[in-house]
Structure 1
Amino acid sequence: MASKNDTMIAALLREREGYERRGLEDRVRQVDEQLKHHGYAPEDDSTGPRGRTATPQQTAQQGKPEPKKPAAKKAAAAPSAPQSE
């Protein structure tokens, strides 16, 4: 179960993200103050977004030929009518 501070910090981080997207730097600073008040210590954000830490894995279809398509279904022949003698 998350503590009250964890829940508040998560909500403040979402709020901050919205302000950043809209370029509202004053509101971002105000939210940063509240984050600090609730005990949030941000990691070093000066490096910018973090990239991938592992190399991408090859998926099942990469580099493999296209799988064969199943043969088209043929319509069954209509039953022939009984021949009269």
Structure 2
Amino acid sequence: MASNDNMIAALLRERDGYERRGLKDRVGQVDEQLKHYGYDAKTDKANGPTGRTAPSQQTADAGKGPAKKTAAKKTAATAPPAPPAESEAPAASPAE
């Protein structure tokens, strides 16, 4: 599809939205742009904007429930703390 065809398709979708909302002045402005890009409403009436052309795609998450919760990792923090290690060096003798 040429770039003009892409622009024409986008302008036709835009024009359709303006028509549905009753914005006649905006429809006229879009018509001017369509004419600029070479669109002729009389000959291209069948090529107007249409709905979705491709079927909707199912994603990996569709149809599944909520995500599973992961189990908490067991760490050393759940075990009682070890008593502090006592030094094996002899105690300092009192100063004489």
TM-score normalised by length of structure 2? 0.44
Structure showing greater Rg: 2
TM-score normalised by length of structure 1? 0.49
